[in-house]
Amino acid sequence: MNERINLGKNAPHMYDKLISLKHDMQALIKDANINEGFSHLLLLRASQINGCAFCVRLHTKDALDTNESIERISVLPAWRETAYFDEKERASLQLVESICYIRDSHIPDDVYERAKKVLNEKEILAVQWLALVINALNILAISSRLEVKKEE
């Protein structure tokens, strides 16, 4: 791969603002009482959709470190076909996916209405900010071509 400018290293003041947003998003997740392990699954799912290898590896490890099961991690791309996720988790996953595919779907009303039926306002707020922040971080990692070397 051709070497690219690392956006974080070459504009640290901008990167710091993005990381500050990430910390604020994590506070929203906590305030909404969304399980930390599941929040990593939401981050992982967005990173899978966006094709960000750096973040896929990172959030897989984070999910495992917070005691998410290998089964839930493994079936995440096919979550609709499993019984591993409850109604709130399913609505959250669908909302995150819709935000990742915003260009195609503009977050359909039925997706948002379903979320409103099972998630409270704090949960919706936290999930939407999570999706916004991880999309920005995925773009940063992909456009900078952050290396994902095999760990020994």
Our measurement of the distance from residue 39's CA atom to the centroid of its chain's CA atoms, rounded to an integer in Å, reads: 7
The pLDDT value recorded for residue 3 is 83
Supply the pTM of this predicted model: 0.95
Domain boundaries 13-144, corresponding CATH code: 1.20.1290.10
Domain ranges of the chain: 13-144
The pLDDT value recorded for residue 147 is 84
Residue 98's CB is within 10 A of a number of other CB atoms, namely 20
| pLDDT tens per residue across span 114-148 | 999 999 999 999 999 999 999 999 999 999 998 88
pLDDT bin (cut points 50, 70, 90) of residue 84 is very high
Tokens found for residue 22: 């990430």
The pLDDT value recorded for residue 1 is 58
| pLDDT tens per residue across span 24-68 | 999 999 999 999 999 999 999 999 999 999 999 999 999 999 999
The letter for the amino acid at 10 is N
Distance CA 84, CA 63 (A): 15
The torsion angle over the Cα atoms of residues 114, 120, 121 and 122, rounded to 10 degrees, is -130
pLDDT bin (cut points 50, 70, 90) of residue 149 is confident
The pLDDT value recorded for residue 80 is 98
Which helix (H) or strand (E) segment holds residue 75: the answer is helix 70-75
